[in-house]
Amino acid sequence: MKVLMTGNEAIARGAYEYGVGVAAAYPGTPSTEILENIATYKEIPCQWSPNEKVALEVGIGAAIAGARTIVTMKHVGVNVAADPLLTVAYTGVRGGLVLVSADDPGMHSSQNEQDNRFYGPFAKIPVLEPSDSQEAKEMVGLALEMSETFDTPVILRITTRIAHSRSLVTLNEPVERTAKPYSKDAKKYVMIPAYGRARRLFIEERDQKLGAFSETCPVNRIEAGSEPNGVGILTSGIAYSYVKEAFPQAPVLRVGLTHPIPKQLITDWAQGFNHVIVVEELEPYLENQLRAMGLPVLGKPFFPPFGELSVQSVQAGVQAALASRGVAIAIPETNVPAPFTAPMRPPVLCPGCPHRGVFYVLKQLKAVVSGDIGCYTLGTMAPLDGIDTCICMGASISGALGMEKAHPEMANRIVAVIGDSTFLHSGVTGLMDIVYNGGTSTVMILDNSITAMTGHQHHPGTGQTLMGDPAPMVDYEALVRALGVKRVVEVDPLDIKQVKAVLKEEMAVREPSVIIARRPCALRVKNDRPLIVENCKGCRACIGVGCPALSMDPATRKAVVDATLCTGCGVCARVCMFDCFRPGGE
Amino acid sequence: MSETKNILLVGVGGQGTILASKILAHVALGQGWDVKMSEIHGMAQRGGSVVTQVRIGTKVYSPIIEPGEADVLVAFEQLEAYRWIHTLRPDGTVIINDQKIAPLPVVAGAATYPETILDDIRAKVATAIVVPALSLATEAGNSKATNVVLMGVLASVMPDVPAESWQEALEANVPVRFLEVNRKAFAAGFACER
Ligand SMILES: Cc1ncc(C[n+]2csc(CCOP(=O)(O)OP(=O)(O)O)c2C)c(N)n1
């Protein structure tokens, strides 16, 4: 049977079909739906871990114990998990271990666009790159087999366009799901230097074997074709689909195992052409390896090293590359009409979002806000303008300490804001550091009791697991008190008067304090009664809270509430200078 | 089907573009065609621009529609039609829901919602079909069926596809209790004046 699946659904299906016995992840676009889909196959134990490092370590334990295991994360998550990754590369595994890295060229929903293929040569482990959903599924099987055969973790590297594009997938019956028996093997799994050195030698042998395997691995595929100028195109991942669309007749070498690459196969293939062009998204990762092999390939100067490729940029790049060798080719003319200039439609905090009022107050108090990653990062957008920095998950709290050390006189203005999921991901150690190293910054935990940004995943503070079972909930107050924070206050973020009073007091105090702003995500509670406006004087104060349900009627210059969007949260009512908002009818 | 057909659906988060694209894909698969689709939803759960691309053909490689290559642009909102109209081929068709949803910069007074969207678009493209999809959906019994009204309009410009295929696709993608409303919404879109 063939069905239309996203790459993420296909990878989940692969986990099901190829006998995966344990799955773990921390959510992150564009990887999140993999685990959500694995959770629909009830026979696979799967879980959200508090962060990517923990998820990978859970996976490593499972694989060492003997289960086929999959761990998934977004590209920057691999940085968090890099420590265990670079050493499980030494120990190898018993059951197959696949790490899915979902990269985000074009930064559709990420803070950077690093090219994670480099983790392959860095950790000396194989990297597989599918070009569509069918391959994404099959490569889960190949990765598990390679992992077990060569005793190595394997990276399955996808990008947003693979993760979130749908194409046809053939479904097969699952193989039997059994874990291999466990037995102790300290020399292999205890990485003290003496044992580590032995494994280091093993890695070199393994690399050789993988290199030989790559030469005949069917995912490195030569597609014959004809092109009058003797051009051959080497490509990988989603770029392959653009190449096929742009130059359907051209000879292609599609590299599917992008570490280690099949050097002999490539060298022999390249012999047949006057011009070999490398078409790859992001860094010149393959290109640089081919150059190091002495192949005079054409590549990056002619294709952008950032953002996503497209059929048109591939056509233009190939044309420019060949022109540099004095070869002229015709490409379809693209007479794209100039776009109209339309006002942007940036993503916004939802109507009723409990984060909104907090940023409104922080702006009023002229706080220096050390920000973090989550829905609340949208508090940086106008009119709230409420965030000074955002680097990576967890950096708000530790960053606030650094700011305070650099500018002690600023200490009473510095506030770190962090979401509940992000606090548990990597905020706790930063707070420990504030207490330990004499910081006085105020930390606000914006507890909407869910990982909202990535689509509402549970975490250790929500009381439920990925498999739907009830779970104990982290007690934030007890946790931060245990770290040594003496001042802990809980506020209702919709009550902006209270938020303001508490923030003022805690910012002024010369010791660490934590404010827990608690209110569930507005998308997870039933719509309350929308507000109505009476006798609006047109003061526009409510517009300053930046709510999509509120606008000024251009004709009457009065505020209007969109009753289909308004949740009745009342933040606007609290800032209105003339008290014009009332609860509406049903 | 010899040539690949490119259909771009654009709207605002929460308007149901993805369900619409699933219905469309179902129809295409039913005809035995190859399909590739790509979805990009902005950062927030709601309120950002959303774009879904559907490519249908004998063999489709790329999931992406290039600028100037869309055969049909289905815009769920006026400003989004304006933003994406350059993706349409010169001989393409645009279907526009006449609904307006002001983005935050407009609400906050930092930008203005263009006044002349429909005229500007009509001056630029071969075929522009403007429909009051929201009111048609409301008349059919549920404003949330706006997306299905627009699928009805789309069906009317894809005459090669038999009507039963659309009905099957509705049945497969819409929960049973909403099926009747959605059938009505689809019919209203299919038959509406333009
Ligand atoms: C290392 C890393 N992993 C995952 C992500 C993706 N991501 C961005 S924000 C976020 C969590 C947001 O949840 P929370 O802190 O509870 O804030 P909310 O969105 O609910 O306001 C995640 C998982 C990331 N940016 N970096």
pLDDT digits (tens, 9 = 90+) for A356-368: 999 999 999 999 9
Task: Work out the minimum CA distance from B78 to partner chain A, whole angstroms.
Answer: 11
C-alpha–C-alpha distance, residues B20 and B7, integer Å: 11
pLDDT tens profile A516-554: 999 999 999 887 789 999 999 999 999 999 998 999 988
What average pLDDT score do residues A341-354 get?
A: 92
Q: What is the ipTM of this complex?
A: 0.93
pLDDT surpasses 80 at B43: no
Residue numbers in A near B114 (CB within 8 A): 340, 342-343
Distance, CA of A212 to chain centre: 33
- Give yes or no for a contact between A50 and A459, defined as CB atoms under 8 angstroms apart: yes
Residue A359: both structure tokens together? 């940023």
Angle of helix B133-140 relative to helix B146-156, nearest 10 degrees, comes to: 110
What average pLDDT score do residues A176-203 get?
A: 98
What average pLDDT score do residues A127-142 get?
A: 98
Instruction: State whether B104 and A335 contact (CB < 8 Å).
Output: no
Which CA distances in Å does A236 have to A112, A325, A505, B73?
21, 24, 57, 30
3-class DSSP state for residue A82? helix
C-alpha–C-alpha distance, residues B61 and A486, integer Å: 60
pLDDT surpasses 80 at B41: no
Q: What is the DSSP string of A496-537?
A: HHHHHHHHHHHHHSSS-EEEEEE---GGGS---PPEEE-S--
According to the model, what pLDDT value does residue A60 have? 98
According to the model, what pLDDT value does residue B45 have? 59
According to the model, what pLDDT value does residue A586 have? 52
What average pLDDT score do residues A321-337 get?
A: 92
Size (chain B), residues: 194
pLDDT tens profile A464-498: 999 999 999 999 999 999 999 999 999 999 999 99
- What 8-state DSSP symbol labels residue A426? I
Query: Whose CA is closest to atom 13 on ligand 1?
Result: A451
Residues 96-155 of B with CB under 8 A from A: 102-114, 120, 124, 143
pLDDT surpasses 70 at A460: yes
A422 lines ligand 1 (CB under 6 A): yes
3-class DSSP state for residue A488? strand
C-alpha–C-alpha distance, residues A6 and B34, integer Å: 14
A251 lines ligand 1 (CB under 6 A): no
C-alpha–C-alpha distance, residues A553 and A538, integer Å: 10
What average pLDDT score do residues A62-87 get?
A: 98
Q: Residue for token digits 């709230």?
A: A384
According to the model, what pLDDT value does residue A584 have? 84
Nearest CA in chain B to A28: B43
As to burial, measured by CB atoms within 10 angstroms (0-12 exposed, 13-18 middle, 19+ buried), residue A524 is exposed
Across B63-76, b (16+ Cβ under 10 Å) vs e yields bbbbbbbbbbbbbb
Query: Whose CA is closest to atom 11 on ligand 1?
Result: A374
A393 lines ligand 1 (CB under 6 A): yes
Nearest CA in chain A to B27: A4
Q: Residue for token digits 């959200």?
A: A48
pLDDT surpasses 70 at B44: no
Report the predicted TM-score, pTM, of the whole model to 2 decimal places.
Answer: 0.97
pLDDT tens profile A245-267: 999 999 999 999 999 999 999 99
A453 lines ligand 1 (CB under 6 A): yes
Domains identified in chain A and CATH numbers: 2-214 (3.40.50.970), 221-323 (3.40.50.920), 355-524 (3.40.50.970), 531-583 (3.30.70.20)
Across the interface, of B38, B43, B124, the residue whose CB is closest to A347 is B43
- Give yes or no for a contact between A113 and A104, defined as CB atoms under 8 angstroms apart: yes
**Minimal CA–CA distance to A263: which of A215, A204, A208?**
A215
**Minimal CA–CA distance to B39: which of B27, B54, B56?**
B54
C-alpha–C-alpha distance, residues A546 and A566, integer Å: 13
C-alpha–C-alpha distance, residues A69 and A60, integer Å: 8
A351 lines ligand 1 (CB under 6 A): no
A451 lines ligand 1 (CB under 6 A): yes
According to the model, what pLDDT value does residue A336 have? 80
Is A375 marked as a binding-site residue?
Answer: no
According to the model, what pLDDT value does residue B127 have? 95
According to the model, what pLDDT value does residue A284 have? 98
Percent of chain A residues topping a pLDDT of 90: 94
Query: What mean pLDDT, rounded, does chain A reach?
Result: 96
Is A576 marked as a binding-site residue?
Answer: yes
Say which range, A1-5, A331-335, A388-392, has the weakest mean pLDDT: A331-335
Which CA distances in Å does A291 have to A255, A277, B23, B38?
16, 12, 47, 34
Cα Rg of chain B, angstroms: 16
Residue numbers in B near A349 (CB within 8 A): 44
Size (chain A), residues: 586
According to the model, what pLDDT value does residue B128 have? 97
Alpha carbon of A377 to ligand 1 centroid (Å): 10
Higher pLDDT, B90 or A466: A466
Which CA distances in Å does A404 have to A410, A413, A437, A507?
6, 9, 11, 12
Q: Does domain B5-191 have CATH number 3.40.920.10?
A: yes
Q: Which amino acid is at A211?
A: G
Across A43-81, b (16+ Cβ under 10 Å) vs e yields ebbbbbbbbbbbbbbbbbebbbbbbbbbbbbbbbbbbbb
What average pLDDT score do residues A573-586 get?
A: 89
Residue numbers in A near B102 (CB within 8 A): 551
- Give yes or no for a contact between A288 and A276, defined as CB atoms under 8 angstroms apart: no
Query: In A177-263, where do the E strands start and end?
Result: 221-223, 231-235, 252-254, 257-259
According to the model, what pLDDT value does residue A338 have? 87
Alpha carbon of A427 to ligand 1 centroid (Å): 12
According to the model, what pLDDT value does residue A334 have? 78
Q: Which atom of ligand 1 is nearest to the CA of A373?
A: 9
pLDDT surpasses 60 at B2: no
